[in-house]
Structure 1
Amino acid sequence: MGKTKKKVPKCFVAKPYTNLADQITGDQIVSNKKKEPKIRLRQDESEEVISSQLSKRILDQVREQKQEITDNDATEKNLISLGSGSDSEEDEEDKSMFGEDDKDYYEQLEINVEDEKALEMFMSKNPETRLTLGDMIMEKITEKQTEIQTQFTDAESLQLQDVDPRVVQMYKGVKQVLSTYRSGKLPKAFKLIPKLRNWEQILYITEPSTWSAAAMYQGVRIFASNLKENMAQRFYNLVLLPRIRDDIDEYKKLNFHLYQALKKSLFKPGAFMKGILIPLCESGTCTLREAIIIGSIVGKNSIPMLHSAAAILKLAEMDYNGATSIFLRILFDKKYALPYRVVDAVVFHFLGFEHDPREMPVLWHQSFLTFVQRYKTDISSEQKKALLKLLRSKSHPIITPDIRRELESSTCRDIEMSEPL
């Protein structure tokens, strides 16, 4: 005989649908197994059973994602209302750049009044008129209207074209944004300017003189990255340099954003030298404060040797002013291995003051001492004698003895070459 089958209570028989009475009866019977509550999810007409622990995790993730979406929407609305969007790359750089403990920012300057008066003696009495971007544009327009020049063949000259009124209206709106810009996203139309053929004309519509300091920094970032060196030089010379000089002249110091813009302009060192440093010294009106602030950028950042050597050569050959001594001393302190041609030009630069009746400022003697300390072995014997003779007519009670000691203890380059191996 087979085993008798136990009768299973009706409450344990699986039914497609159970009524309320059966559910109450089933709850009164205690089962030995601890059954986990199951959650049934129907996907593609097939049922999948998920445990309570996994379902709890899923629900937690859903709540977190929903909360994140809500927070992001609220943040975006606030940013849009304030006019400052979010740009991850720019924000990260701004956080590191605008921190309170930025060591790259120049210290508070204390300019000696006597030094300023001494440098004024060497400034140009009749400085050339400083041209702005607007002056250059109007000059080109006049040339076209009078048909003096029918076609511009120079690659650097502005090719004037008729601008669509809708484009003009759009960039006037960009001008309004840039005049109040503080942080966040920039208009896409502004980022397209360096790629345009008539970028100078479009840039003139935005009126760079009205940009905020933060907008100027962002503009230098964009133009330094996208323009060729000769075009970047024009932007530095016509837009950035006048803004920096005006800011220093008005506030007696340089805005932090403009200082960072000046630092960012070194991305193209050739354009920096030819668009900012050399024109500033050639103007003959560079003040001691301007030279110290811009010189701090040159001293704190790495510049290729060839660009620095070309700048030293140009500074040594131009008419002297006090700013020349500051920039020469800073470049000498970078300890480049300069070509002999550059060293010779600097020697002739100092020898040119032998018969100058004016009393040389302390900055001149300091740059002379720095040059002798760094390059005393790169001068010839004849140059050494001439420099020692120069010290008799141009002397300083404290600095000149150090210069003479450095020269007398040095070994000249022609003696080193003549020595047998």
Structure 2
Amino acid sequence: MGKISTKDSKDKIRHKPLYKDITETGTLSTGKRSKQSKNDDEDFDDEQVLDAAASRRILKLAREQQEEIESEENHIKVAEKPRFQMISPESDDSDADAAYEDMTDEGEDEYYDDDEVEEIDEEEAKLFDSYFKSGDNAFGSFNLADKIMAKLEETKQTKTEQTERPQDKVFLPPRVIEAYEKVGQSLHHWRNGKLPKLFKVLPSIKNWEDLIFVTNPEAWTPQVVYEATRLFVSNLTANKAERFVNLVLYPRIRQDIEESDEHKLNYHLYRSLKKSLYKPAAFFRGFLFPLIQEGCTTREAMIVGSVLTKCSVPVQHSSVALSWLLEQEFNPATTVFIRILVEKKYALPYQTIDDLVLYFMRFRVITDQNKNDIILDDATEIAEQRRLAQSPPMPLVWHKAFLAFAQRYKNDITEDQRDFLMEVVRQRGHREIGPEIRRELRAGSERSTTTAPKEDKEDDIMSFF
């Protein structure tokens, strides 16, 4: 095998030396400077001179462009000036005066060149007009007061539309109204089974009152009324449950009693009324109080009173309801509820017991002998007492309520109150019930004034409603 010649291979492998690459970058200097390095330095200096000249030319061009931009801006500012502008006497610039005269004599079209006028897009013009609307001012300035007055007028108009909007209509999406109308159609024939899911979610919806009227509650079956009462009373607060009882249950029960032949209440509606007592405040404020205020018949009072008799009601709510009933005008239906609440034998606070005593003392006949013993506020109350004295005998329900009070609270009244009540029995007594009331009052003991009252609470009892 022959030798390989290294001469040819060295010529082929030969490349640029490393020191040349280093010296070209300018980071390394050698002691001896060859001719080749001198030539390289001269080329490098030439390149530096060219770069400085180029930079000067660039700066010159930039300066010229800046001057052109400033001249264009000056032309635009002149164009924005109004055609008939007063020049202040303090201005002494003769060139400005000449420019103003040329502009007023020859016109804007002759003053500006066609090349310098730029066309404005329609969108930009609309945007400009939206911010700067021309009004009475000749300069077309922006009038902020007009915009504020227009906004106030708009809000006032929307408020008037809301107040004039009829309250008996439901403003809901069409799809929602259509869905709950179908639910209402199914509830008109529902007897048993599962209620529609759209109806079950009503208590969790904010505007449930609007949605429930879309289903037409007047046409619900009695079974639906009972299930709806369970659903709403158990899932809503006392204030919202009061709305349901007053808007749905109250008119339905009164209508059923009035339309029935024997003036009886449907069994399912009766159960609904009992279920509404799960929230006593909702029952009293949403059903009982409106019933008394709108004129309750004795038959309605007996039916509703039987619910109160069978159901347990907290003493706080019962005492407040009793105090409210005692302040109303005399009515046999009102007396029915008073007797029922008294017969429940609550440990009533002394405030409610004093209200009961004053209620029965209202029917005391005023004579010349006892006129000084009665403390009355004014002459109108005396006239009311005399009117009651001339009225026919008291109904039997009043005597029963008086007897129930004497039997239960004879030991919770003072001696003065006992004397006044004895006189009421003597004047207004019943031939059979009167002697029993007198015997109960005489058997009672005086209320102790040293002991604390039964309901020693910081809050007023009326705060429960």
Q: Match for residue 242 of structure 1?
A: 251
Q: Over residues 201-227 of structure 1, what are the superposed CA-to-partner deviations in whole Å (9 max), with x where a residue is unaligned?
A: 111111111111001001101110111
Segments of structure 1 that go 5 or more residues without pairing to the other structure are 1-142, 151-157
Q: Over residues 364-417 of structure 1, what are the superposed CA-to-partner deviations in whole Å (9 max), with x where a residue is unaligned?
A: 010010011001111111111111111232121111111111111111204786
Q: Do the aligned residues in 2 keep the contact of 1:229 with 1:270 (CA within 8 Å)?
A: yes
> How far apart, CA to CA, are the structure 1 residues paired with 2:449 and 2:440?
16
Cα displacement (A) at 1:163: 1.0
Counterparts in 2 of 1:289 and 1:145: CA distance versus 1, 3 Å: farther
Counterparts in 2 of 1:149 and 1:350: CA distance versus 1, 3 Å: farther
> How far apart, CA to CA, are the structure 2 residues paired with 1:195 and 1:334?
36
Equivalent residue for 1:334, pick from 341, 344, 347? 344
Please give the secondary structure, in 2, of the residue aligned with 1:338. Answer: coil
Q: Match for residue 314 of structure 1?
A: 324
Cα displacement (A) at 1:339: 0.2
TM-score (norm 2): 0.55
> Which amino acid is the alignment partner of residue 280 of structure 1?
L
Counterparts in 2 of 1:262 and 1:327: CA distance versus 1, 3 Å: same
Q: Match for residue 181 of structure 1?
A: 190
Please give the secondary structure, in 1, of the residue aligned with 2:277. Answer: helix
Q: Match for residue 196 of structure 1?
A: 205
Give yes or no for the alignment of 1:394 onto 2:428: yes
> How far apart, CA to CA, are the structure 2 residues paired with 1:393 and 1:166?
69
Cα displacement (A) at 1:329: 1.3
Q: Match for residue 124 of structure 1?
A: none
Q: Do the aligned residues in 2 keep the contact of 1:381 with 1:414 (CA within 8 Å)?
A: no
Give yes or no for the alignment of 1:295 onto 2:305: yes
Equivalent residue for 1:253, pick from 260, 264, 277? 264
Equivalent residue for 2:358, pick from 343, 348, 364? 348
Q: Match for residue 405 of structure 2?
A: 371
Equivalent residue for 2:285, pick from 270, 274, 288? 274
Counterparts in 2 of 1:324 and 1:161: CA distance versus 1, 3 Å: closer
Q: Match for residue 45 of structure 1?
A: none
Cα displacement (A) at 1:326: 1.2
- What is the percentage of aligned positions where both structures have the same residue? 46
> How far apart, CA to CA, are the structure 1 residues paired with 2:312 and 2:243?
22
Aligned residues: 268
> Which amino acid is the alignment partner of residue 225 of structure 1?
S
> Which amino acid is the alignment partner of residue 316 of structure 1?
L
Q: Match for residue 175 of structure 2?
A: 166
Please give the secondary structure, in 2, of the residue aligned with 1:257. Answer: helix
> Which amino acid is the alignment partner of residue 364 of structure 1?
W
Structure 1 consecutive aligned stretches of length 4 or more whose deviation exceeds 4 Å: 143-150, 415-418
Please give the secondary structure, in 2, of the residue aligned with 1:314. Answer: helix
Q: Match for residue 408 of structure 1?
A: 442
Greater Cα radius of gyration, structure 1 or 2: 2
> How far apart, CA to CA, are the structure 2 residues paired with 1:339 and 1:197?
39
> How far apart, CA to CA, are the structure 1 residues paired with 2:293 and 2:360?
18
Higher mean displacement: 316-325 or 362-371: 316-325
Alignment of 1:133-172 (within 5 A): 147-148=162-163, 162-172=171-181
> How far apart, CA to CA, are the structure 2 residues paired with 1:384 and 1:332?
18
Q: Over residues 53-112 of structure 1, what are the superposed CA-to-partner deviations in whole Å (9 max), with x where a residue is unaligned?
A: xxxxxxxxxxxxxxxxxxxxxxxxxxxxxxxxxxxxxxxxxxxxxxxxxxxxxxxxxxxx
Alignment of 1:10-29 (within 5 A): none
Cα displacement (A) at 1:147: 4.6
Give yes or no for the alignment of 1:264 onto 2:275: yes
> How far apart, CA to CA, are the structure 2 residues paired with 1:287 and 1:352?
23
> How far apart, CA to CA, are the structure 2 residues paired with 1:177 and 1:413?
61
Counterparts in 2 of 1:291 and 1:345: CA distance versus 1, 3 Å: same
> Which amino acid is the alignment partner of residue 272 of structure 1?
F
Q: Match for residue 362 of structure 1?
A: 396
> How far apart, CA to CA, are the structure 2 residues paired with 1:401 and 1:186?
57
> How far apart, CA to CA, are the structure 2 residues paired with 1:149 and 1:311?
37
Q: Match for residue 214 of structure 1?
A: 223
Q: CA RMSD in A?
A: 2.3
Equivalent residue for 1:223, pick from 232, 237, 241? 232
> Which amino acid is the alignment partner of residue 406 of structure 1?
E
TM-score (norm 1): 0.60
Equivalent residue for 1:382, pick from 416, 419, 428? 416
